[in-house]
Structure 1
């Protein structure tokens, strides 16, 4: 007889208000293991998922490879932006040097105005650096996606227990349906008893 559902369970979280008793230790838990076809699910503590005697994590190589490629692409984009920013600043400094040379030839009043412009430019650069630092801090503060495995395969004993519970639930449902049918129980005798 084929199993009604595969031995692959995805770990999901529910709201704390929807927490129910763990199937193993009966403590309230908001973690749920569910099959991909949603035919079976049960609540379990996250601690049990780390127990190798309960379940083994299934590592999705394609997902890991895709995640690694995405991280590399993000790093590449980040480095390109930093490089372009440095090049832009380098060009601005060269322009400032050219302006300084031109202003040296001018009178002292022009130098004062040039100093004011330099101060403004420095303030702008400081503001930009501050913004970059803040945005960096924000990205570092936000936690990355969980590196914990999300798909598990139950050990044989626990999987057989899940199958047995499913069969018992189906048998109980069939019994209830049969009992609700009018011809399930024998009818009351209509003739008087014999002596």
Structure 2
């Protein structure tokens, strides 16, 4: 019974935690093959070790994720540009209306100043800076792994030994497996 060297990382409930096959500490991480032919408990820290397993990266899925992220970023940029344009137009309208009011006030003040021979004062408006809000990038963990050759071979040998032991138990349970006692004299 052979199975491919492609293991998927899965989590189980805390109540189902068992000892890691490497360090025997309780863990909820499980590596399992397709069609559930083989599985074993392993600590998440062992999955990061190059001497234990190597991650299998799906290029097509990664490219699709990157394209989707690029499209989302582009859409956010377009929305941001539209928002900034709208804010700019609003500020421009407000500024124009304020300038008209200021001109009226200036005209009135100039008249008063001419009458009083005073000086006129200028006021300046300040714009608050725009904030760039970028969502933090979430690093996804790899879920598919390939065991190192010697570990994979150990898993295959363990499965074969379990099959042989099962066959031997079944044979021994069969009454025709053992020879019968001789019925005649020698």
Name structure 1 gaps, 5 residues minimum.
Answer: 107-128
Match of 1:177 among 166, 170, 173: 170
TM-score (norm 2): 0.70
Structure 1 or 2, whichever has the larger Rg, is 2
Name structure 2 gaps, 5 residues minimum.
Answer: 105-129
Q: Deviations over 1:106-151 (max 9, x none)?
A: 9xxxxxxxxxxxxxxxxxxxxxx9xx99xx69x54xx7242x3322
TM-score (norm 1): 0.68
Deviation at 1:9, TM superposition (A): 1.1
Distance 1:100 1:46 in 2: 63
**Does residue 160 of structure 1 match 2:153?**
yes
Match of 1:151 among 140, 144, 149: 144
CA RMSD of aligned residues (A): 3.4
Q: Deviations over 1:7-32 (max 9, x none)?
A: 11112222222211111111111111
Question: What residue is the counterpart of 1:26 in the other structure?
Answer: 24
Deviation at 1:167, TM superposition (A): 0.7
Deviation at 1:43, TM superposition (A): 0.8
Question: What residue is the counterpart of 1:60 in the other structure?
Answer: 58
Question: What residue is the counterpart of 2:78 in the other structure?
Answer: 80
Contact 1:29 1:44 in 2 (8 A): yes
Figure out how many residues of one structure are paired with residues of the other and give that number.
Answer: 163
**Cα distance change on mapping 1:75 and 1:182 into 2, 3 Å:** same
Contact 1:5 1:37 in 2 (8 A): no
Question: What residue is the counterpart of 1:45 in the other structure?
Answer: 43
- SS of match in other structure, 1:46: coil
Match of 1:94 among 59, 73, 92: 92
Distance 2:44 2:154 in 1: 19
